[in-house]
Chain A
Amino acid sequence: MLQTLQETLSRLAALDPAVIAIAGLSLRVSFSAVGLGTLLGVPLGALVAVSQFPGRRLVVGLLNAAMGLPPVVIGLVLYLILSRSGPFGGLGLLFTPSAMIAAQTVLVVPLIAALTRQIVADAQDYLGEQLSSLGLNGAQRAAILIFDTRFSLVTALLAAFGRAISEIGAVLVVGGNIDGHTRTMTTAISLETQKGDLPLALALGVVLIAVVIAVSAVASLLRSYAMRAYG
């Protein structure tokens, strides 16, 4: 164990540009997925929070449950859809970064929507009377509440980013872990573990954790800066 750690440290010092490219791809895929997931999930969650419609409780229940969708199952379903023999095979997206972004987007939309719904619903309970006195429609109320809770929503997006960048099941199945093309941090760690190169696998793991911490730190800094400036 100690020896592995020691080797890990020396491997960390010698990480080559390929690792930077792999980390870059991981970031690009997960940022894109969270970006798309935000555009879909935040409005969806907010609208569910402010609207009254039959079956609403069922929708809320489904959203909450979908936070636990297993990545590998999402990957498998997307694989079958994007395979050349599947309904969207003509797009030729299988084994490309775009397919990985699609899979991670499916993964994070329920998470973002469910957390947004909760945050917006809480804010609505708090501001409800003032809001109803303004005579706004649902979309306007949702927009105001999203704006009002924007700093809390950052935490929801960070949770989604954490889920996206750390998952392996979906990107492995739809990406294929192709060297220099669809290899991400998690699939690279898995591959090096399979090859029995545990120090290198661990060194990559340290890089991945460092990336996650850096993203989270930057987000928190921006958030506290924005709160002081505009809050």
Chain B
Amino acid sequence: MDRLRRSTLSLGLLIAVLGLATGPVLATPQETITVASTTSTEQSGLFKDLLPKFTLASGIAVKVVALGTGQALDAARRGDADVALVHDTTAEEKFVSEGWSTKRYPVMYNDFVLVGPKDDPAGAAGASVVEALRKIAAAKAPFVSRGDRSGTHTAELRYWNETGLDLGAVRGDWYKDVGQGMGPALNTASASNAYLLTDRGTWLSFKNRGDLKILVEGDKRLFNQYGVMLVNPEKHPHVKAKAGQAFIDWLVSTPGQNAIAAYRIGGEQLFFPNAGAR
């Protein structure tokens, strides 16, 4: 009798716990899509501003998983996201040519800036980004790299490549490869007074700047294009193609583009819509 009561009790407990665990999943009838995106869009606060507007217009909720561009595209390849919104045009075109998506839509751009200590020991201020990197390497001034296959990291490697220097040969203790998102990399640079390449959006919303300031900006190489792609439902049948496409269509529509342009921090515009671009 006692044992019967105990097992009934534990069964009840089990059901209660499972109910607790699955309740909220069942209690969201609203359609939800998952977007794999980059740390820069999340940490700059853009999504927090943008997504409620889309949800209001469409009734579709958006869950954003913020990863580096490389990781975000990998998650999309595995079918763990419906849409990818990233910033590495070469990698995006490869994603499409491999058949993981049927079309890439340009959405917006912002730019990269090179930040560094106010006293600028390498004398990088005002130079072109490529020249600035040469000076930093020559001075062996501390430099922080994302090192995480993100869009910002691939851009940094592209600029190093343009310097004509062999990064593998010249790098030493001064080159710190942190392997983390934009925020942690900025924290590291701020704590060690190092130079680093960051997107302007994350920089503007970053609060722990210490002695860092922008040293190089406006170089046209620093242009940073974002693109959005629906994961190909032929590769992953569970992809919510209709809702995902609705999100993409909204982003490139006039209301979506206006919402992107309207997002500001301290009066400064972070992202510039350019859905008509290549």
**A residues engaging B (CB < 8 A)?**
28, 31-32, 35-36, 39, 83-85, 89-90, 92, 94-98, 101, 143, 176-179, 181-182, 191, 193-198
**In chain B, residues 202-223, which have Cβ atoms closer than 8 Å to a Cβ of chain A?**
205-209
Q: Contact partner of B13 among A35, A85, A177, A182, CB < 8 A?
A: A35
B65 pairs with A32, CB closer than 8 A: no
Contacting pair A32 B186 (CB below 8 A):
no
Interface members, chain B 235-274 (any A CB < 8 Å): 236, 238
| Chain A to chain B contacts (Cβ below 8 Å), 8 pairs | A35-B20, A36-B17, A83-B78, A85-B79, A98-B22, A179-B47, A193-B187, A194-B183
Q: Which positions 18-76 of chain B face chain A at CB distance < 8 Å? A: 20-22, 24-25, 34, 39, 42-43, 47-48, 63-66
Chain B contributes a number of interface residues (CB within 8 A of A) equal to 39
**Contacts A84-B238, A96-B25, A97-B25 known; A196 to B63 CB distance under 8 Å?**
no
Q: Hey, what's the 0/1 contact readout for B60-104 against A, CB within 8 Å counting as 1?
A: 000111100000000000111000000000000000000000000
Q: In the complex, what distance in Å separates the CA atom of A84 from the CA atom of B236?
A: 8
Known: A32-B21, A95-B34, A178-B64. A85 touches B207 (CB 8 A): no
A92 touches B17 (CB 8 A): no
Query: Are B80 and A196 neighbours in the complex by a CB distance under 8 Å?
Result: no
Q: Do A31 and B20 touch across chains, with their CB atoms under 8 A apart?
A: yes
Q: Does B278 contact A (CB under 8 A)?
A: no
Given the complex, which residues of A lie within 8 Å of B14, measured CB to CB? 36, 39
* Chain B residue nearest to A97 in the complex (CB): B24
What residues make up the interface of B, taking CB atoms closer than 8 Å to A?
3, 6, 10, 13-14, 17, 20-22, 24-25, 34, 39, 42-43, 47-48, 63-66, 78-80, 180-184, 186-187, 190, 205-209, 236, 238
Are B65 and A178 in contact, CB atoms less than 8 angstroms apart?
A: yes
**Known: A85-B78, A194-B43, A195-B183. Contact between A39 and B13, CB under 8 A?**
yes
Q: A97-B24, A196-B187 are in contact. List 11 more A-B contacts (CB 8 A).
A: A35-B13, A39-B17, A83-B78, A83-B79, A84-B238, A177-B65, A194-B43, A194-B180, A194-B181, A194-B182, A195-B207
A83-B80, A197-B207 as given contacts; A28 in contact with B20, CB under 8 Å = yes
A193 to B184, CA, bound (A): 8
The residue on A at minimum CB distance from B78 is A85
- B231 CB to closest chain A CB (Å) equals 10
In the complex, which of the residues B24, B78, B80, B181 has the most CB atoms of chain A within 10 Å of its own CB atom?
B80
Instruction: Give the complex CA separation of A83 and B39 in angstroms.
Output: 21
Would you call A196 and B17 a contact (CB within 8 A)?
no
The smallest beta-carbon distance between A27 and chain B, in angstroms, is: 11
Chain A residue at smallest Cβ distance from B6: A143
Closest to A29 in B: B21
4 closest Cβ contacts across the A-B interface? A194-B183, A196-B208, A84-B79, A176-B65
- List, in ascending order, chain A residues with CB within 8 A of B187's CB: 193-194, 196
A35 in contact with B17 (CB, 8 Å): yes
Query: Which of A98, A181, A193 neighbours the largest number of chain B CB atoms within 10 Å of its CB?
Result: A181
User: CA of A223 to CA of B205 in the docked complex: distance in angstroms?
Assistant: 47
Bound form: Cα–Cα A8–B46 in Å:
25
Q: Chain A residues near B207 (CB, 8 Å)?
A: 195-198
Residue of B nearest to A94 (CB): B80
Q: In the docked arrangement, what's the CA distance between A179 and B64, Å?
A: 7
CB-nearest residue of chain B to A182: B63
**CA A178 – CA B186 in complex, angstroms?**
22
Across-interface contacts of B25 in A (CB, < 8 A): 96-98
Residue of B nearest to A178 (CB): B63
Cβ–Cβ contact A92 & B43, under 8 A: no
